[in-house]
């Protein structure tokens, strides 16, 4: 009998956010609110829609395998050479490529936990040893929600090949600050690649949370990962990119890509989105303002909510997490529970967030 690798057999299935239309039908309501997947609530940018329409007539041809136009635009935007950029089918695919490019079976991959739920799966598929470093309280006496950079350093040994630092962290929304991150990067051994996973960078409002691309400069073992799925509104098209100080790092990541993995439509959309940066910034400002309103509303209800630097907030509900998430779904609100730990709530429109708050109040009232 044909059998897959044992590591693959043991993999849990990735669980995406639930489809709101399915939930609405299930509970018999006209509409459900989805605050589970950290998408932006805005429709695609007008320039993106136009670019998609224009390129649609060419989709009988393969896309540019090297995404040259998009790569060039990204290189100019960040002041790097095109050889320092790798474009991929979403940031998560680039993470898989990093693991394939740098982790041999038995080598170490270090990351904080809880963090992005794909990290342990990437290690498992690559045959690497996953070293999970528990989060620590960001505030004295608070819940564990922040990267322990000293703990990450202690987790590095001679077998370590990659360290992943999600900043801001998903799902807690917390971020490490400039001085601490600089000290950490300078202490990491030169043979270890540090990937700063900045999927939510555009939503950062604290000036002391550093831009990873700036910290990358002059540090040959640092790369930065970003995505068009969140702030840029292209979640359905799957485009991400990695920028490395050492072009050899980006080259290794490119070597592990699936040919033609970034579609012609996705490339055109990303180029159009970059050209619409002013509009994106305005949308991000609306999201961060609503994030502040939602945070204040939850705190006024007695909830311990850390200052989020992403487009979601984290409710550390502990053992009540699954119960609250189920009760919210019964009221047509989809959030993202992490059983026994907390609830991640995407910042939606003000109307969507009000629906969530009303449902949350009903649950609290019993």
With a cut of 80, say whether residue 270 has pLDDT above it: yes
Answer yes or no: are the C-beta atoms of 48 and 37 closer than 8 Å: no
Structure confidence at residue 1 (pLDDT): 87
* Phi, psi at 196, each rounded to 5°: -85, 105
Residues whose CB is less than 8 angstroms from the CB of residue 230 and which lie 6 or more positions away in sequence, other chains included: 38, 39, 40, 199, 200, 202, 203, 311
| Structure confidence at residue 12 as a pLDDT band (50, 70, 90) | confident
Read off the pLDDT of each residue in 14-22 and give the average, rounded to a whole number: 82
In tens, the pLDDT along 134-161 reads 999 999 889 999 999 999 999 999 999 9
CATH number, domain 6-44+278-365:
3.90.1150.10
Beta bridge partners of 314: 344
Q: Is 363 exposed, middle or buried (0-12, 13-18, 19+ CB in 10 A)?
A: middle
CA-based nearest residue to 195, from 124, 253, 136: 253
Structure confidence at residue 10 (pLDDT): 79
What whole-number distance in Å separates Cα of residue 139 and Cα of residue 146? Answer: 9
With a cut of 90, say whether residue 301 has pLDDT above it: yes
Read off the pLDDT of each residue in 308-323 and give the average, rounded to a whole number: 98
In tens, the pLDDT along 44-88 reads 999 999 999 999 999 999 999 999 999 999 999 999 999 999 999
Structure confidence at residue 318 (pLDDT): 97
User: Pseudo-torsion of CA 224, 228, 229, 232, nearest 10°?
Assistant: 130
Task: Read off the tokens for 5.
Answer: 């690798």
Structure confidence at residue 18 (pLDDT): 83
Task: Read off the tokens for 332.
Answer: 């047509």
Other CB atoms within 10 A of residue 106 CB: 9
Beta bridge partners of 334: 34
What whole-number distance in Å separates Cα of residue 299 and Cα of residue 289? Answer: 16
**Average pLDDT of every residue of the chain:** 96
Cα–Cα distances (Å) from 180 to 155, 184, 210, 215, 269, in that order, read: 17, 6, 10, 12, 36
| Structure confidence at residue 230 as a pLDDT band (50, 70, 90) | very high
Task: Read off the tokens for 333.
Answer: 């609100």
* CATH 3.90.1150.10 domain locations along the chain: 6-44+278-365
CA-CA-CA-CA torsion sign (66, 68, 69, 73): positive
The fold adopted by the segment(s) 46-274 is 3.40.640
What whole-number distance in Å separates Cα of residue 365 and Cα of residue 362? Answer: 5
With a cut of 80, say whether residue 366 has pLDDT above it: no
Structure confidence at residue 28 (pLDDT): 93
With a cut of 90, say whether residue 266 has pLDDT above it: yes
Read off the pLDDT of each residue in 169-188 and give the average, rounded to a whole number: 98
DSSP state of 209: S
Answer yes or no: are the C-beta atoms of 241 and 74 closer than 8 Å: yes
DSSP state of 193: E
Structure confidence at residue 132 (pLDDT): 98
Task: Read off the tokens for 274.
Answer: 């970059």
In tens, the pLDDT along 43-52 reads 999 999 999 9
């Amino acid at each position: 009998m044909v059998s897959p690798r044992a590591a693959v057999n043991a993999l849990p299935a990735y669980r995406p956010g639930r489809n709101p239309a399915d939930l609405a039908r299930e509970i018999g309501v006209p509409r459900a609110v989805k605050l589970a997947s950290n998408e932006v609530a805005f429709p695609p940018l007008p320039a993106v829609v136009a670019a998609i329409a224009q390129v649609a007539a060419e989709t009988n041809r393969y896309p540019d395998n090297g995404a040259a136009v998009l790569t060039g635009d990204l290189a100019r935007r960040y002041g790097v050479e095109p050889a320092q950029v790798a474009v991929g089918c979403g940031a998560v695919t680039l993470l898989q490529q990093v693991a394939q490019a740098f982790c041999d079976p038995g080598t170490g991959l270090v990351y904080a936990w809880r963090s992005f739920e794909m990290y342990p799966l990437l290690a498992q598929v690559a045959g690497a040893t996953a070293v999970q470093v528990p989060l620590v309280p960001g505030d004295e006496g608070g819940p564990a929600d922040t990267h322990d950079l000293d703990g990450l350093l202690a987790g590095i040994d001679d077998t370590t090949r990659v360290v992943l630092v999600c900043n801001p962290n998903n799902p807690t929304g917390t971020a490490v600050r400039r001085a601490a991150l600089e000290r950490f990067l300078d202490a990491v051994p030169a043979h270890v690649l540090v990937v700063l996973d900045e999927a939510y960078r555009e939503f950062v409002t604290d000036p002391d949370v550093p831009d990873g691309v700036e910290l990358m400069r002059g540090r040959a073992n640092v790369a930065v990962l970003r995505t068009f799925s969140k702030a840029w509104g292209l979640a359905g098209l799957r485009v991400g990119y990695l920028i490395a100080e050492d072009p050899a790092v980006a080259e290794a990541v490119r070597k592990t890509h699936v040919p033609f993995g970034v579609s012609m439509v996705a490339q055109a959309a990303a180029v159009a989105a970059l050209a619409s940066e002013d509009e994106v910034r305005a949308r991000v400002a609306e999201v961060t303002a609503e994030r502040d309103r939602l945070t204040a509303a939850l705190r006024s209800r007695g909830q311990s909510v850390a200052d989020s630097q992403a487009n979601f907030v984290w409710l550390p509900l502990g053992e009540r997490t699954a119960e609250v998430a189920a009760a919210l779904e019964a009221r047509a609100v989809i959030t993202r529970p992490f059983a026994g730990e907390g609830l991640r709530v995407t910042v939606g429109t003000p109307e969507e967030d009000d629906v969530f708050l009303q449902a949350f109040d009903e649950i609290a009232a019993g």
